[in-house]
A and B are shown apart, each in its own frame.
Chain A
Amino acid sequence: MSNSTAIFQADAVSKMFGDLWAVDRVTLGIPRGEIYGLVGPSGSGKTTLIRMLCGLALPTGGTAKLLGSSMPSERRAVEHRFGYMPQERAVYRDLSIAENLLFFGQIYGMSRARIAERTRELLDLMKLSDRGKQRADRLSGGEKQRLSLACSLLHEPEALLLDEPTIGLDPSLRREFWDHFHQLNAAGRTILLTTHYLNEAEWCDRVGLMQQGRMIAEGTPDDLKAEATTRSGQARPDMEEVFLILTQESVAGGVS
């Protein structure tokens, strides 16, 4: 899977916490223009994998590359070109919406005029127009999440790493988020995201299924369904069934 044009690339990357392999020799290549979804139970290593790819965690073994740069050693070369949305809401509670965007724009070297322009655009997009002066801790969960996404998009990154961007959102809001993702994707952005919602996996170009730090299956949603049918004989499984079949297979496969 070593693809020289890959936006996100992992080669047998591993991360050990204490005596636990949080990520165990994962290899991954995501070409430009793809929406790639990492799914798997909590604690399966999705967040750690994303953190290694954006340079927040040092791999114990293997290499993680973002836009062709080794992370974290060469992160300076690409730090302006990617956006990261952490699992926590990651906005300043005691700042207003506009002030949050101002700060995250300033640290990327954007001019105040440009930040104001982008703020208008993004607040329109996120249906937060005229709310700029509202403090983040007065926002609902969904609004806070929209602000968090806006903060990650502000500096117009070409690569996006979104950790559980839709967690805790109601179904209609999740739909809206996915509309944003598809719009961003259509505008040329490459997106790597994690999700708990298996129906969302259907909306990705490709899906990686993780369990206990390992990548146990990977492919388009249709590939995974076919794989599940082969293994279990069940015709036309939905994503939830695919997940159950493939993860059980892996546990039953007995590699502890």
Chain B
Amino acid sequence: MKLYRMGAVTERVLRQLWHDRRVLVFMLMLPAIAMLLFGYSFSGDITDVRVAFIDEDGTDLTESILESLQEDEAFNVTVLESVDDPERLLLEEGYQAVIRIPDKFTSLYYAHFAMGVATSAQGTIDLTIDESDPQVAATIRMGLADAMMDLGEGGPVEVETRELYGVEVRFIDSFAPAIMGFVVSLISIVLTLLSIVREKVDGTFSRIWVSPVRRAEFILGYVIAFGLIALVQSLVVLTIGKTVFDIVINGSIFWAFGCTILFAVGSVGLGTLLSALAQTESQAIIFFPLVILPSVLLSGMMWPIQAIPRLLRPLTYVVPLTYSNRLMRAVMVKGLAPWQEPVGFIGVLVFVILTIALASVVLRQSAGERE
């Protein structure tokens, strides 16, 4: 194996990308767009839910419930004097929930607290809720429960929470590592696939295989080129994540880049592998949805694996991005070293070894059944 030949392949791939300005822009814009688009639309923080609050009791306790709700950014609380028909407020006034605290709530609440389970009398809050959007409804329930917990010593149950790994992790914080893996692998797979199919169509492949270039040099040349690109793309994602969304990175940036590049290597292998199944560029394009859809739907990028139907869950284990997501989140959000997330780490390693080995076999065939 000769470094200069590997370097020649790397230099050539980078020059080709540099000349194709559309591809270059696409490569740099995709991580930026993906991060901005997903970041804003999936930021997960529901805000400005209109809530009507009616306090018929009017004590310090109910006052502090109101304050808690008002402090919650999810709600836009309107205090009303009284209500006859909460349903009408939902239907005609556009409220998504009506919270009514009945008279004597406070005394019943303390009575229950004082007498323990011995009494059936307890404070009741009357919640009328618009269930048409389950996510909004869940936010309201959670907000109200939070407000009750904020009462602290008054509550019958004390939940003591220990926040592990990411303290105050928002959706976007755990989304950035996923988007990094997704964008980097997508670009590496698609561009490797197209580039190699093009070499076949144009005949430059034949020139390469009669030359002294070895298969390993060819693959590694591609790997280094796309590894460098992966690094740039990761920088774009992290820069936007940091400046626009102020994401929290608990782990080491070094491991984050290392793991992204590792995943890019496997993706180059997968792209090479797929190139064996396509004779023309239009055939190659058929593979794009095949790569993108499972990654988006089954990798735990947008929603947790636990939200995927049990029947489909085994499929998530053949989607490479599943392992990348686990690994990247462990490294960036939890602040662990790669080997402390063995499933993700080994999954990505197996992906790399498998695809590169198979890519090498596939190239031997493309090279004209030599040996």
Contact = CB atoms under 8 A, between A and B. Distances in A.
A72 B5 contact: no
B206 A107 contact: no
User: Which of A76, A80, A82, A86 has its CB near the most chain B CB atoms (within 10 A)?
Assistant: A86
Nearest to A79: B212
A228 B235 CA distance: 72
A94 B19 contact: yes
Most buried by A among B16, B20, B198, B210: B210
Which of A56, A84, A87 counts the most chain B CB atoms within 10 A? A56
A57 B369 contact: yes
Contact of B203 (A72, A80, A82, A87): A87
Interface in B180-207: 198, 201-204, 206-207
Contacts of B213: 107
Contacts of B4: 106, 109
Nearest to B371: A72
Contacts of B15: 95, 99
B204 A90 contact: yes
Contacts of B9: 107
A89 interface: yes
B206 A72 contact: no
Contact of B207 (A73, A90, A106, A109): A90
B369 A95 contact: no
Contact of A103 (B11, B19, B367, B369): B11
A107 B208 contact: yes
A91 interface: yes
A90 B205 CA distance: 8
A103 B8 contact: yes
A93 B202 contact: yes
Contact of B210 (A55, A94, A103): A55
Nearest to A152: B207
At the interface, is chain B mostly helix, strand, loop or mixed? helix
Interface string B1-28: 0101101110110011001100000000
Nearest to B20: A94
Most buried by A among B20, B204, B209, B371: B204
Contacts of A58: 368-370
A79 B208 contact: no
A135 B370 CA distance: 32
A108 B217 CA distance: 13
Contacts of A95: 12, 15-16, 19
A89 B201 CA distance: 10
A6 interface: no
A75 B212 CA distance: 9
Contact of B202 (A80, A90, A99): A90
B41 interface: no
A131 to B, nearest CB: 16
B1 to A, nearest CB: 13
B206 A86 contact: yes
Nearest to B9: A107
Interface in A61-116: 72-73, 75-76, 79-80, 82, 84, 86-96, 99, 103-104, 106-109
Nearest to A105: B8
Interface string B158-181: 000000000000000000000000
Nearest to A99: B15
A7 to B, nearest CB: 15
Contacts of A54: 210
Contacts of B370: 55-56, 58, 72, 75
Contacts of A109: 2, 4-5, 212
A51 interface: yes
B211 interface: yes
Nearest to B203: A88
Central interface residue in B11, B198, B207, by most chain A CB within 10 Å: B207
A39 to B, nearest CB: 21
Nearest to B369: A58
A55 to B, nearest CB: 6
B207 A108 contact: no
A179 B371 CA distance: 37
Nearest to A137: B19
A107 B211 contact: yes
A103 B208 CA distance: 10
Contacts of A76: 212
Given A56-B368, A107-B211, A109-B4, A92 B203 contact: no
A92 B211 contact: no
A80 B367 CA distance: 17
Given A56-B368, A57-B369, A151 B5 contact: no
A91 B210 contact: no
Contacts of B16: 92, 94-95
B367 A56 contact: yes
Given A55-B209, A109-B2, 11 more contacts: A55-B370, A57-B368, A72-B370, A79-B211, A79-B212, A84-B207, A91-B204, A93-B198, A106-B5, A107-B208, A107-B212
Interface of A: 51, 54-58, 72-73, 75-76, 79-80, 82, 84, 86-96, 99, 103-104, 106-109, 135, 151-152
8 contacts: A55-B370, A56-B209, A79-B211, A84-B206, A90-B202, A90-B203, A99-B12, A103-B8
